[in-house]
Amino acid sequence: MRFLLLLFIIIPVIEITVLINVGQAIGAWYTVGLVLLSAFIGVNMLRYQGLSTLARAQQRMNAGQIPGNEMVEGIVLAVGGALLLTPGFVTDVIGFLCLIPYTRKALARQVMSRFTVVAMSHRQNGVAPEDVINHGQHSHRSQDTDRNGDIIDGDFRRED
């Protein structure tokens, strides 16, 4: 929480400083033009990368697989798009990093590994992640095998 508060204070100060320095170096109107140009390029990149990620997710779903990586990449793309629409050069650089496939996939892997660690740490303490998510509501876990001998693991909650 403190990290986010610090981030919301430091990033705008850095952005303002960079915008002032760039404005003094090349002029205010050119700076505004660069900010608008980066937003325009970013939105077009976001559209292309988003459609590509959506197509991969649909392919995985059609193959009967869960598109977990694609969902996390979609979240990274959304964050990158929001950063690109935020005026400033620092947020634009971070936003473009979220749109480049190599760095986006690396960020998605980092996010996925964090979620896995969090889920496993709750399991080790005897608390299931769904109990934490459901705030202690009654939930059940089920494991069954299908005809191929594969284990099917799922969550369900009985509602009467």
What does the pLDDT read at residue 7? 84
Length of the chain: 160
The runs of H, that is alpha helices, within the chain are 2-26, 28-62, 68-85, 89-99, 101-124, 129-133
CA 53 to chain centroid, in Å, comes to 13
Q: What are the per-10-residue average pLDDT scores of the chain (160 residues)? A: 84 93 94 92 89 90 86 90 90 92 90 64 49 44 55 72
Contact call for residues 140 and 158 (beta carbons, < 8 A): yes
The residues, any chain, with a CB within 8 Å of residue 139's CB and separated by 6 or more, are: 128, 130, 131, 155, 156, 157
Q: For 158, list phi and psi in degrees, rounded to 5.
A: -80, 125
Per-residue model confidence (pLDDT) at position 68: 84
- What sections of 27-67 are H helices per DSSP? 28-62
